[in-house]
Chains A and B, each alone.
Chain A
Amino acid sequence: MQRLEGIAVSPGVAIGEAFVVDHEGFRIPRRFVTRDAVEAELDRLSQAVDASAEQIERNRDRVCAELGKEYGAIFTAHLQMVRDRKLRGELDEMIRDRHYSPEYAVSRVLRRYAKVFEGLESRYFSERANDIVDIEKRLLRNLLGRRREELSHVTSPVVVLAHNLTPSETANLDRRFVRGFVTEIGGPGGHTAIVAGALEIPAVVGTGPFLTDVSGGDLVIIDGDHGLVILQPDEETIARYRHEAEEQRTMRARLVSLRDLPAETADGVRIQLLGNIEFPGEVDHCLEHGADGVGLYRTEFLYLGTDKRPSEDEHYEVYAQVVKTMGGRPVVIRTLDLGADKVPGTNPVLDEEANPFLGLRSIRLSLRNLPLFRTQLRAILRASVLGDVRIMFPLVSTLLEIRQAKMLLGDVMEDLEERGVPFNRDIPVGMMVEVPAAVMMIDQFVQELDFISVGTNDLIQYTLAVDRGNRDVASLYNASDPAVVKLIDMAARAARRAQVPVNVCGQMSSSTSYTMLLLGLGLRQLSATPAAIPEIKKVCRTVTIPQCEAVAVRALELENARDVKNYLKEELKRLLPELGH
């Protein structure tokens, strides 16, 4: 048994067979094939051997022509190696009699050969091990094909172990089969981590190197609650975690039973619970968890993992999918919220920003790249006839920005009108409140908007001047800080005075610890990670508004983050012991 510690980025326990993707993207194979697959697997081996031989021959001919015959000779030897009958006999036997997968057989036999050479005294002979490794890799490459794509084509339950996963690879993991994942590198703020949370599968990142210790098919436990990965677990550990996983399932099932009940406080006040989503597929999670709509639809994924800008139709397609699936429930689409470094074709102006979080990003970037911005606005407007679509601008810090953005929106509307394209002229327009300056001027902002949404992640960061990715100061980043609570209070009061709906989105509203506080501050709309909705609903249905108001009053009197946090925890525990974690 081997225990690895990493960073917990998505909670839950997963137990399953390993699907391993190594540094070069090689999938380290599973060990066995089924009896009736043997013939097909032998066939696959034949094809891989032929393909390898062809490639080696081509290499040989090229090298002979370019460098001379002596250099080509090595490939003649390699050619003989892949066609070696003894090798083939051993491989066939392993597949036929022991039901090994061709990949596993190739690795095993050739690694054994390589070991023999490594053990030889003469340096010349011991170095031949490299030639054998070369043959092994070539055969594996041909057996596995474009194996990275296989990640999205998994057909049996697995846990994915990889050196790294890109956000789009993570997003494409099939939730039906991928029970969890672990990456050797990565941190808590990374996009991969956010996507893991969105997929609602247990995930641990940043474990450091360990892939050489596992092979495909090994049983692995991922403890996403504590950031642990357990390789070759013993029986007792497996039993313990099975029990844990079972309990989590029971808890989830209990919460799911709340799905069709409204989020209504014990004294009858209806709270709107919305989902935060990143990928179109996540609307299903929203519906599964009984969300009243989508409170924050991040659109950044359209720009990530590609080096060309998304077209208007590409925008439209994904928006339309989300809006249609939500069937009349509100969908708040947030315009581009990225730094210039992440958006294709916008970065040549500044090559490097010293403080990207204070730099050209989000609405600032959109207002400087009007064609890019117009494309997105047009697509959102086109989708607006399909349901209840609302548009939201991120990182607004001045009134001028909101006026410019609205002016441009009006412009785009005129264009569409001229072209005879239908759209909703009264599409609600709102902004994210995430810069303290915007809170200071909130009374003016609400006059010009149809709604506001407090984005707590950035608001905390900008209010407390903390980069939460920086380990040295990350502990200062705290949603419980009284300064943060006061800013939310200000925004909520201003919105109420102007009778403009106000929402809170971000990790703060996804945590049950803050539900009572937020309701007490006057929030009647919360937007959270879909998976958190049932728990939050449970809190809503248990408390009364006066109770929450008392909690908010008390919290606003406290002087430091730790006191606020502990107080909120205790209050929650008192009311709902089973949720107090």
Chain B
Amino acid sequence: MPRMPTMNVKQSVAHVVMRDPLGMHMRPAQLFSELATTFTSEIVVRCDTVKVDGKSIFEVLALAAECGAVITIEAKGDDADQATAALVELVENNFPEPTPVKDNKADGDTTG
């Protein structure tokens, strides 16, 4: 059987700016890696010269991406496009809670 040409592997690259004032801290890193894990594609995240595995919370944290930093998301695999799109959206929307909000928003988030 002929080897599958690598050209056929889908690739997708996107750039996005960190907007969370604390940067890629624990919660964002957790949400990011959790979402990344739902895709079959290989996901690499870069910030400056650091390049890490987007599916590992340890590595994403180790990016130490500060507020205002540009991060590059590269996906390689069948669902590469969906993966980058979803991850970019997550960062752009500043890491909202992943689960559809069941609670009545009115009584929780309008304090102060």
Contacts and interface: CB of A to CB of B under 8 A. Distances in A.
B37 interface: yes
Given A80-B34, A125-B61, A131 B26 contact: yes
Interface in B2-60: 22-23, 25-27, 29-30, 33-34, 37, 53, 55-59
Interface in A76-134: 76-77, 80-81, 84-87, 113, 116-117, 120-122, 124-125, 128, 131-132
A125 to B, nearest CB: 5
A128 B28 CA distance: 13
Nearest to B62: A116
A113 B23 contact: no
B53 A73 contact: no
B30 A86 contact: no
A476 B31 CA distance: 71
Contacts of B90: none
B66 A128 contact: no
A77 B26 contact: yes
A269 interface: no
A470 B27 CA distance: 57
B58 A87 contact: yes
A120 B50 CA distance: 12
B70 interface: no
Contacts of B86: none
Interface residues of B, number: 20
Contact of A80 (B22, B33, B64): B33
Given A117-B62, A124-B25, A125-B64, A76 B55 contact: no
Given A80-B34, A122-B66, A86 B53 contact: yes
Nearest to B34: A80
Contact of B61 (A73, A121, A128): A128
A44 to B, nearest CB: 22
Contacts of A576: none
Q: Is the interface of A mostly helix, strand, loop or mixed?
A: helix
Contact of A85 (B22, B37, B62, B64): B37
Nearest to A120: B64
Nearest to A88: B56
Interface size range of chain A in the complex: 20 to 34
Nearest to A113: B58
Given A85-B37, A122-B64, A128 B56 contact: no
Contacts of B58: 81, 84, 86-87, 113, 132
Contacts of B59: 86
Contacts of B30: 73, 76-77, 80
Nearest to A73: B27
A558 interface: no
Nearest to B98: A76
A113 B59 CA distance: 9
A74 interface: yes
A447 to B, nearest CB: 81
A86 B62 CA distance: 13
Contact of B56 (A85, A121, A122): A85
A84 B57 contact: yes
Given A74-B26, A85-B37, A131-B26, A80 B57 contact: yes
B55 to A, nearest CB: 6
B26 A128 contact: yes
Interface string A498-532: 00000000000000000000000000000000000
Contacts of B23: 122, 124-125
A555 B3 CA distance: 98
A132 B25 CA distance: 14
A484 B26 CA distance: 71
B56 A87 contact: yes
A121 B62 CA distance: 11
Nearest to B52: A86
B56 A86 contact: yes
Contacts of B27: 73, 76-77
Given A84-B57, A120-B62, A122-B64, 17 more contacts: A73-B27, A76-B30, A77-B26, A81-B58, A84-B58, A85-B55, A85-B56, A86-B53, A86-B55, A86-B59, A113-B62, A117-B61, A121-B64, A124-B23, A124-B25, A125-B25, A128-B61
11 contacts: A74-B26, A76-B27, A77-B57, A84-B57, A86-B56, A86-B59, A113-B58, A124-B23, A124-B25, A125-B25, A132-B58
- Sorted nearest first, the 3 A-B pairs with minimum C-beta distance are A86-B56, A77-B30, A77-B26
